[in-house]
A and B are shown apart, each in its own frame.
Chain A
Amino acid sequence: QKEVEQDPGPLSVPEGAIVSLNCTYSNSAFQYFMWYRQYSRKGPELLMYTYSSGNKEDGRFTAQVDKSSKYISLFIRDSQPSDSATYLCAMSAEGNQFYFGTGTSLTVIP
């Protein structure tokens, strides 16, 4: 079983839609939870991070962590064509090693 599971999609939504991306994990020691965005043929870039449980909002993006269910989510409101990318979740126990999900490919159609 992989440490982190993520639905690879692909996910296709119309512009303006709310997008929900999710990951589940098995290691209860994970405390740091991150979302990376990766455009085609580029390296991943950090989008958001949260520590332990709870929500974090940054503009159109909201990250949620539910440690009791070992489940994290990223919501994108008012999705734009420029949001089309692969979104990878990543987790770490003590900040020394990341475990990545397989990424979800998102296309926002104008």
Chain B
Amino acid sequence: DTAVSQTPKYLVTQMGNDKSIKCEQNLGHDTMYWYKQDSKKFLKIMFSYNNKELIINETVPNRFSPKSPDKAHLNLHINSLELGDSAVYFCASSQYPFSGIYEQYFGPGTRLTVT
């Protein structure tokens, strides 16, 4: 069974379109994240949700809107896509957000290409 799954795996779309990426985890974790990895492999956190509540909201354009319908799901909707949005988007989850060491489990990534 896949621990953290994302759909779609590849997404090619044109500038100006709106698209969504879905993420699901079956680990029973309380906290989920969205990361963006650029072409130089730099991994930067975008959002974090704990039990459906937004706890980290880094400086990202408000064209990006996360939505957590329940603690096992965290979706990312992107409006008015731009060329610079092309990257690999990773979803991750972890169990203990604020105490001690915890392991983040990453999904396989969604490779977004904006043309």
Contact = CB atoms under 8 A, between A and B. Distances in A.
Interface in B48-91: 48, 55-56, 90
A86 B4 CA distance: 20
A88 B99 contact: no
B103 interface: yes
B41 A8 contact: yes
A105 B43 CA distance: 14
Contacts of A51: 101
A103 B41 contact: yes
A43 B106 contact: yes
A41 B106 contact: no
B60 to A, nearest CB: 14
Contacts of A45: 105-106
Interface stretch (A13-21, A69-77, A93-101): A93-101
Contacts of B44: 100
A96 B108 contact: no
Secondary structure at chain B's binding surface: helix, strand, loop or mixed?
A: loop
A44 B104 CA distance: 9
Given A95-B97, A96-B97, A97-B56, A43 B45 contact: no
Contact of A41 (B97, B103, B109): B109
A45 B99 CA distance: 20
B43 A96 contact: no
B108 A42 contact: yes
Q: Among A32, A43, A98, A103, which residue has the most Cβ atoms of chain B within 10 A?
A: A43
30 contacts: A8-B40, A38-B41, A41-B108, A42-B108, A43-B90, A43-B108, A44-B43, A44-B90, A45-B105, A46-B103, A49-B101, A49-B103, A86-B41, A88-B43, A94-B98, A96-B48, A96-B56, A96-B97, A96-B98, A97-B45, A97-B48, A97-B56, A98-B104, A100-B43, A100-B44, A102-B40, A102-B41, A102-B42, A103-B42, A103-B43
